[in-house]
C-alpha cells in the first residue's frame, strides 16, 4: 500500500463546483495534478474555475502571484481519463452526488490505474462502503470530503469505509495535510459523516421552528449570525461545554431534548418550496428573493469571512 511519500501524481475527476479547487489545493502542496473533464466544455469550465480561484487567492493575499503561478503550472487539464488514471498515485473523484454514477466511474477507473493507486471520493454524505462495491481492492478506497470552497476551506473529512485499511487512512490524511488542509478522521461510515450530520441537525430544528410559527426564516438566521456562531471559531462544541460546565449543559438537556424536533422525513417547509420550484439562489426565490447581484454579494461575504478567519489562524500560528 502506498505511503504519502509515494504520492506524487494526482488525478482529480470532475470540473464542477469542487474539482478545480481540490486540484489547486493539491498543486499548492507540490503535487502534479491532472484535472479531468469528460468533454471539451467540461475542460473549458475547469480552466475558467481554476483561473478564478487563483485570482481570488492572490486578491485575498493568501498567496503571491508567483506561488499561484507555480501551483497552476503543476495542473494539466485533460479529457483523457485513461491517461490521467494510468499515471496517478492518488485519484480523487468529485462528480455529481449520485451513488450509481460514482460506482460506474470507479468501475471504469480500476482497470485503468495501478493496483496500489489510492482511490478517494469527495462525496459529502454517501456511504463510502456502498461506493466501494465497485472497487477492486477496496482497502485502498477512502472518503475525502473537502468543504466548499475547497481552495479556501481548511477542513477535509477523511472517512473510513468498512474495508478501508489503516494504511490508506494514514496516507490520505498526510497527503491532505501536505496540501495545507486540516484532516479529521471519521472512523465509522455513517451517512453524512461528521459535518453534514451536525449541519443538518441544525437545519431540521430551524425548519421546525419556522413550520410551527415560532420565528421567521429571517429571524432564525439573525439569531444564528449574531449569537452562538460568533463563538464557534475559537470554541468548538465540546470545548464550550467544558467552559460553561457539563452539569449546566445536562440540566438544559433534561427539559429541552424531549421538545426538540425528531422528524425522520423532509420538512413540509422545504417540500412546499421544492414543489413550487422556488429552490433558492439558483432560481431567484427560496426562503428569500434573490437578484444575481445579491447572490454574488452573499458569496463574497461568505468568502471574506472565511478569509478573515484564515488570516487569524495564520497570525496565531506565527505567534
What is the pairing mode between strands 90-93 and 75-78? unpaired
CA 174 to chain centre: 17
157: β partners = 145, 184
Residue 185: all three cell numbers together:
478522521
Reported as a single tens digit per residue, the pLDDT across 12-54 is 999 998 999 999 999 999 999 999 999 999 999 999 999 999 9
> In 69-104, which positions are buried (b, 16+ CB within 10 angstroms) versus exposed (e)?
eebbebbebebebeebbebbbbbbbbbeeeeeebbe
Task: Provide the mean pLDDT of the chain.
Answer: 94
Residues comprising the chain, all counted: 319
Residue 224: all three cell numbers together:
444564528
Cα 261 from Cα 127, distance rounded (Å): 25
- State whether residue 74 is helix, strand or coil: coil
Residues noted as catalytic: 124, 145, 157, 196
Superfamily of domain 4-186: NAD(P)-binding Rossmann-like Domain (3.40.50.720)
Cα 202 from Cα 3, distance rounded (Å): 38
Reported as a single tens digit per residue, the pLDDT across 262-295 is 999 999 999 999 999 999 999 999 999 999 999 9
**CATH classification (class only), 195-265:** mainly alpha
pLDDT for 317 beyond 70 = no
Cα 19 from Cα 310, distance rounded (Å): 21
pLDDT for 316 beyond 60 = no
**Once rounded to an integer, what is the mean pLDDT over residues 115-125?**
96
* In contact, 296 and 52? CB cutoff 8 Å: no
Residue ranges covered by each domain of the chain: 4-186, 195-265
Per-residue pLDDT, 319: 44
Cα 250 from Cα 275, distance rounded (Å): 40
First to last CA, the chain: 38
Lowest mean pLDDT among 23-32, 46-55, 230-239, 241-250: 230-239
Cα 56 from Cα 26, distance rounded (Å): 17
pLDDT for 219 beyond 50 = yes
Where in 168-318 does DSSP place strands (E)?
A: 182-186
Phi-psi region of 110 (alpha: psi -120 to 50; beta: other; left: phi over 0): alpha
In 212-277, which ranges are continuous DSSP H helix?
217-225, 228-231, 237-244, 246-256, 268-276
Identify the residue with better confidence: 2 or 103. Answer: 103
The reported pTM is 0.91
Longest dimension (CA), the chain: 60
* In contact, 176 and 144? CB cutoff 8 Å: yes
Supply the DSSP symbol for 295.
H
What is the pairing mode between strands 141-146 and 118-121? parallel
Who contacts 291 (Cβ-Cβ below 8 Å, separation ≥6)?
Answer: 284
Amino acid at each position: 500500500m502506498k505511503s504519502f511519500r509515494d504520492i506524487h501524481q494526482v488525478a482529480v475527476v470532475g470540473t464542477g463546483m469542487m474539482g478545480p479547487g481540490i486540484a489547486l489545493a493539491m498543486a499548492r502542496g507540490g503535487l502534479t495534478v491532472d484535472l479531468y473533464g469528460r468533454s471539451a466544455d467540461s475542460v473549458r469550465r475547469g480552466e475558467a474555475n481554476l483561473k478564478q480561484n487563483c485570482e481570488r487567492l492572490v486578491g485575498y493575499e493568501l498567496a503571491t502571484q508567483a506561488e499561484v503561478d507555480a501551483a497552476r503550472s503543476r495542473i494539466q487539464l485533460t479529457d483523457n481519463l485513461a491517461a490521467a488514471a494510468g499515471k496517478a498515485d492518488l485519484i480523487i473523484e468529485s462528480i455529481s452526488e449520485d451513488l450509481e454514477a460514482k460506482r460506474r466511474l470507479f468501475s471504469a477507473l480500476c482497470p485503468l490505474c495501478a493496483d496500489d493507486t489510492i482511490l478517494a471520493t469527495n462525496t459529502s454524505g454517501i456511504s463510502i462502503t456502498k461506493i466501494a462495491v465497485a472497487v477492486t481492492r477496496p482497502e485502498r478506497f477512502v472518503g475525502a470530503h473537502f468543504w466548499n470552497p475547497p481552495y479556501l476551506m481548511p477542513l477535509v473529512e477523511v472517512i473510513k469505509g468498512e474495508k478501508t485499511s489503516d494504511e490508506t487512512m494514514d496516507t490520505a490524511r498526510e497527503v491532505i495535510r501536505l496540501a495545507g488542509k486540516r484532516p479529521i478522521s471519521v472512523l465509522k461510515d455513517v451517512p453524512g459523516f461528521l459535518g453534514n450530520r451536525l449541519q443538518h441537525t441544525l437545519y431540521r430544528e430551524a425548519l421546525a421552528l419556522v413550520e410551527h410559527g415560532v420565528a421567521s426564516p429571517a429571524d432564525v438566521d439573525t439569531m444564528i449570525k449574531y449569537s452562538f456562531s460568533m463563538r464557534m471559531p475559537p470554541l468548538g462544541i465540546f470545548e464550550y461545554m467544558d467552559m460553561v460546565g457539563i452539569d449546566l449543559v445536562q440540566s438544559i438537556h433534561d427539559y429541552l431534548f424531549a421538545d426538540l424536533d425528531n422528524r425522520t422525513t423532509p420538512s413540509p417547509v422545504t417540500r412546499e418550496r421544492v414543489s413550487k420550484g422556488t429552490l433558492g439562489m439558483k432560481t431567484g426565490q427560496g426562503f428569500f428573493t434573490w437578484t444575481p447581484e445579491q447572490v454574488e454579494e452573499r458569496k463574497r461575504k461568505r468568502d471574506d469571512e472565511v478569509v478573515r478567519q484564515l488570516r487569524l489562524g495564520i497570525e496565531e500560528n506565527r505567534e
